[in-house]
Amino acid sequence: MKKIMIFLICICQIIIVQAQEWMAMQRPLTEAKKSEEFILIPNTVASSPEFLGLVQEMNNTYSTELRKSPSERNLSVVDRIWQRIVGKSIGGMSFSKVFAFDNGRAMVRRTDASKKNYFGFVDGQGNVVVSLEYTSLRNDGRESVYSKISGRFSKQGYIKAQKSVNGKSLYGIIDRNGNVVIDFAYTKMKYEHNQGDFALVCKNNLWGAIKMNGTSLAECKYKDIWFYTLSTDNNIRYIACEMPDGKYGIINMEGKTVVPFQYLGLSEEKGMIVLGHWVNGIKYYATYNPKTWALVSDEPAK
């Protein structure tokens, strides 16, 4: 009886392992690990024959690798297949590097005679949809532990771009078709991949915020500026600002000051915003409720 039980357990383990491998083979390439060492193409690429042939070969290779144990997998072979297209003509143009596709767009790079790199985007047929005039195309932050946000548009379809304007390197925002959404007028810019419909911008060494429709959210008058989402409630977003005199305050997503600029720093604690300040030589901590921005308490440090 004991031998029968052991036999049945072994059979069940084999079935589970085979089922896991089969499910892994069904994973779309969009779920695959992506890093600086290897790049995987999603299987949503459009119908260009040269791209379809490449994707088919990559799908086959990727599935073969997934049949192996994790320690034996060599997913960089997928990247080597992808890199066959580098240096070849796509839509009548030649690129020094082609990056992963994402929702029908792939970032491409060309390198000029002086070794300067310029970036743009092609679609699934190899048509250039964003001209190769930008020295950088990437949003800030990380989408996951595997993927830096380079060559990927935000969920709203925007990406931070950098290019030379009258000899100055400036930042702006473009959409998936290369349309300029925020003008190239800023020396620095912060735009997180999940930030949404506004960007933090810097002009004359002072920071502000601007919406994608061109409306000013906060004029460029701050020493520094940060965008936050409350860790306990993703629906609560706010912008913390530091004035040139070092005082901190908070504005909401309508550009209204909800915490006055009289504090020396801020932090989030258990869903509340805590800010420090001094009163007659004694350190105080003010606590604000970010749901209403009401002052809950203002007490001396313990």
Single-letter residue type at 195 = Q
| pLDDT (0 to 100) of residue 76 | 58
| pLDDT (0 to 100) of residue 231 | 85
pTM of the model: 0.69
Please state the rounded mean pLDDT for residues 23-41. Answer: 34
pLDDT at 201 over 90: yes
Q: For 22, which DSSP code?
A: H
Query: 270, 236 in Cβ contact below 8 A?
Result: no
Please state the rounded mean pLDDT for residues 92-115. Answer: 78
Q: What is the pLDDT of residues 275-286, one digit of tens each?
A: 999 999 999 999
Residue 48's alpha-carbon distances to 41, 44, 54, 267, in angstroms, are 14, 12, 10, 51
pLDDT at 52 over 60: no
pLDDT at 299 over 80: yes
For the chain, the average pLDDT equals 77
Least confident of 38-52, 169-183, 240-254: 38-52
Least confident of 118-127, 172-181, 223-232, 274-283: 118-127
Distance (Å, rounded) from C-alpha 171 to C-alpha 175? 14
pLDDT, greater one: 206 or 149: 206
What string of H, E and C letters represents the secondary structure of 159-200? EEEEEEECCEEEEEEEECCCCEEEEEEECEEECECCCCCEEE
Distance (Å, rounded) from C-alpha 83 to C-alpha 81? 5
What are phi and psi for residue 24, nearest 5 degrees? -65, -35
pLDDT at 87 over 60: no
pLDDT at 154 over 80: yes
Distance (Å, rounded) from C-alpha 254 to C-alpha 187? 24
